[in-house]
Structure 1
Amino acid sequence: MSEPDTRASLRITEIFYSLQGETSRVGLPTVFVRLTGCPLRCTYCDTAYAFTGGRSMLLTETLAEVAQHGARYVTVTGGEPLAQKNCLPLLQALCDAGYQVSLETSGALDVSGVDARVAKVLDIKTPASGESDKNLWGNLISLNPQDEIKFVLCDEIDYLWAKQVLDEHALASRCEVLFSPAQGQLDPTVLADWILRDHLPVRLQVQLHKLLWGNQQGK
């Protein structure tokens, strides 16, 4: 693997330090690097502010700002981080620097080039998202046991659809699977009852950061 180009630049909406609110790393102090831009427009998106704007930063500048927080864990997110070609060298550079790195991606873009040390969190889009036709199913073959698959569910139709996908693709045998209720659209208790009723091999995920800080940006 060649060294990443430290002169590479990225468009970054924000870099901040907080608790990881999702995935199996929930609760861990983490630095978040939120890249600007996304080709999708999910109905429940809570980071539309990252679609445009941001600031241009060199890879070296990004690494320096991440280092200021003194954290062990780093999450690269968006928007859709893989929409920027220099996301891949950023991920490699973060791994090379000794961080435990995760990538939050929509699954609509190819993940095969992502550094194998990165824990990929693949968000499979459900019908209510309005973007389910963008799912790149070939991405499933690039998943490793350290990776995770996430479904954001808006209603029972989404749940039944995700349940079918879970079974058809044997997702739970590939990696951990997360079922997350869309905020304000699906009661977490209702989703919990469905999961228990159907004995699904999935983890119920609620967004810890929203329970703690609401919908504040940079949290």
Structure 2
Amino acid sequence: MLKVNEIFYSLQGETSRIGLPTVFVRLTGCPLRCGYCDTAYAFNEGVPLEIPAILEQVASYRPRYVTVTGGEPLAQKECPALLASLCDAGYSVSLETSGALDIGKVDARVSRIVDIKTPASGEVDKNRWANLALLTPHDELKFVICDEADYVWAKQQLLEWRLNEKCPVLFSPVAGDLRPADLADWILRDRLDVRFQLQLHKLLWREDRGR
């Protein structure tokens, strides 16, 4: 049994899968409180569903791609079982996780999109650095950048941990706080081997839920 906030069909707005039609399974609950969080409604709202009921709803959209997100999906102990069941059903599955919890129990078929929380997020002390050793080229790391100080810090982690040798690395500006062109200019100036990204769903639909 898992507590599910929403299940919806939309275009993937982030990661290397950006633009792909995707079913999103948003699970309820998160132990973090990032200052820029745009899904606070998922902290508590949701209904309990068994994995077969979740699979039935997902199948109704006839998708190829499925993303399990939150909140923080790994905060629910049955999340790895859900991910494995989605893979068994033949979907290409990705997991969006805060990086604060152990990703080691996630099925190897899942593409793990792991955040590294920056100082301005307010949750930098929650980063589980041990997760870095578990990453494969099938996974991705994401930095959400609030300001120039965040960028400098993220660049330091990128170089110190040689992160782009582990998997693709994404740098994304906080919507409404950091001008996207500024982040793009810094990346180009410093010749960083990262992927700049904007949240496509916010460009298309602003702040609508279920998008």
TM bin (shorter chain): over 0.9
The aligned runs of 1:35-46 (5 Å cut-off) are: 35-46=27-38
Q: Does 2:21 align with 1:18?
A: no
| Alignment: residue pair count | 211
Q: 3-state DSSP class of the match of 1:85?
A: coil
The TM-score with structure 2 as length reference comes to 1.00
Residue 167 (1) aligns with residue 159 (2): yes
Shift of 1:53: 2.0
Residue 145 of structure 1 is aligned with which of 137, 142, 147?
137
Cα distance between partner residues in 1 of 2:75 and 2:134: 18
Question: Which residue does 1:117 correspond to in 2?
Answer: 109
Q: 1:102 aligns with which of 90, 94, 108?
A: 94
Q: Among 62, 66, 79, which residue is 1:74 paired with?
A: 66
Task: Write the deviation string for residues 97-126 of structure 1: whole angstroms up to 9, x where unpaired.
Answer: 000000000000000010000000001000
Q: Counterpart amino acid of 1:26? A: I
TM-aligned CA deviation for residue 134 of structure 1: 0.3
Runs of 4+ more than 3 Å apart:
none
Paired residue type of 2:25? V
| Distance (Å, rounded) in 2 between the aligned partners of 1:151 and 1:161 | 10
In structure 1, how many angstroms separate the alpha carbons of the residues matched to 2:99 and 2:181?
Answer: 27
1:59-70 pair list within 5 angstroms: 59-70=51-62
Query: Which residue pairs with 1:31 in the alignment?
Result: 23
Match of 1:186 in 2: 178
CA RMSD in angstroms comes to 0.3
CA distance in 1, matches of 2:45, 2:18: 28
For the residues of structure 1 that align with 2:186 and 2:38, how far apart are their CA atoms?
25
Displacement of 1:42 after TM fit? 0.1
Q: SS of the counterpart of 1:139? A: helix
Deviations 1:41-76 (A, max 9, x none): 000000000000200000000000000001100000
Partner Cα separation in structure 1 for residue 139 and residue 8 of structure 2:
23
In structure 1, which of residues 65, 81, 86 is the aligned counterpart of residue 78 of structure 2?
86
| Corresponding residue SS for 1:215 | coil
**3-state DSSP of counterpart to 1:61:** helix
Mapped partners of 1:114, 1:142: distance in 2 = 10
SS at match of 1:133: helix
Q: 2:38 is aligned with what amino acid?
A: D
In the alignment, structure 1 segments of 5+ residues that lack a partner are 1-8
